[in-house]
A and B are shown apart, each in its own frame.
Chain A
């Protein structure tokens, strides 16, 4: 039967369709891919969750630890330089006037073993770019210690133990020396013992 070319093309191509078996193969291909994609998405999701957890842990604990370690390294380096004292005195009251430029009054620590040391003198220095007092102490066995005092800024120094809250000083090691960090009366203390 004669028809137009258009009709012939439509009918000829219209006859072409997938057999059930062919369609089943393509459907299986799509389903397989979908399952694989699902596993991939699940994998990405798990990776994202793990990454989030790691990032959170890093933010909450590792970064402050890093800051503390940085502070410890800096104060130990200053301690080892043993720069000359700018003022000498055996009591804080003797040297407080010299440190008026700090913007805070030097604080007597309540920690028992600090009380057991003797002040020798002090000099200006800095911790993380903030003006600080570097005090030289001597213990009963004539070993030198250095005690830093700097106005505490949590954003700059990270979260530090508060003695008023019952926290214990944070203990670190730097260049083989013991370093304790804590906050008392709004002042960050860093103590280096040889």
Chain B
């Protein structure tokens, strides 16, 4: 249970939120600051007003991250919408056959855009489909699929030697 009756997140819940913060920020100190700021805001909310406090906290964190980085870029977690036509053969399955070591991922992690890291988080940690990721991120499915396609291309370009088992299939 992430949210106890006394309005407190327990340690496992805080760790999960920290991982989500790390996904957005890509940096440990910034992640902790974001989590602390989020927690402060969540605690202002009456506990019984929330059906899923952890999901609420993720949303607060995401909005806060966008606010904090609004100056840096137009919107760090929003991609321009893409046409669905070119994405018919793409789904999260496109990522399933990408082969990569943890060290390699660590090297590229900070270079990825927050929106791409967030897609990876929902896909790998929460095991969501492209449609479900789109709902979580308040985006269109086509946009998410487009990001997945580009992400796969970028990862292949970063590590060109035998990093896929096959071409991504249709999801």
Contact = CB atoms under 8 A, between A and B. Distances in A.
Given A13-B23, A18-B14, A26-B35, A6 B43 contact: no
Interface string A21-36: 0110111011101100
B105 A22 contact: no
Nearest to A9: B124
B40 A6 contact: no
A13 B25 CA distance: 12
B32 A2 contact: no
Contacts of A1: 101-102
B15 to A, nearest CB: 5
Interface residues of A, number: 28
A6 B39 contact: no
Contact of A5 (B18, B23, B36, B124): B124
B155 interface: yes
A3 B106 CA distance: 13
Main secondary structure of the interface of A (DSSP, over half): helix
A1 B155 CA distance: 17
A29 B125 contact: no
A33 B7 contact: yes
Contact of A10 (B7, B35, B125): B125
A30 B109 contact: no
Interface in B19-38: 19, 22-23, 28, 31-32, 35-36
Nearest to B98: A5
A73 B111 CA distance: 84
Given A2-B100, A8-B101, A18-B14, A30 B8 contact: yes
A11 B102 CA distance: 7
B106 A2 contact: no
Given A5-B124, A18-B32, A12 B14 contact: no
Interface in B70-112: 95-102, 104-106, 109
A71 B54 CA distance: 62
A165 interface: no
A12 B109 contact: yes
A6 B124 contact: yes
Interface of A: 1-14, 16-18, 22-23, 25-27, 29-31, 33-34, 37
22 contacts: A5-B100, A5-B120, A5-B124, A6-B123, A8-B100, A9-B105, A9-B120, A9-B121, A10-B125, A11-B102, A12-B102, A13-B22, A17-B18, A18-B11, A18-B14, A22-B32, A23-B14, A25-B36, A30-B9, A30-B39, A31-B8, A34-B6
Query: Which 8 A-B pairs have CB atoms at the shortest separation, nearest pair first?
Result: A9-B124, A5-B98, A8-B105, A33-B43, A30-B8, A17-B15, A6-B124, A16-B22
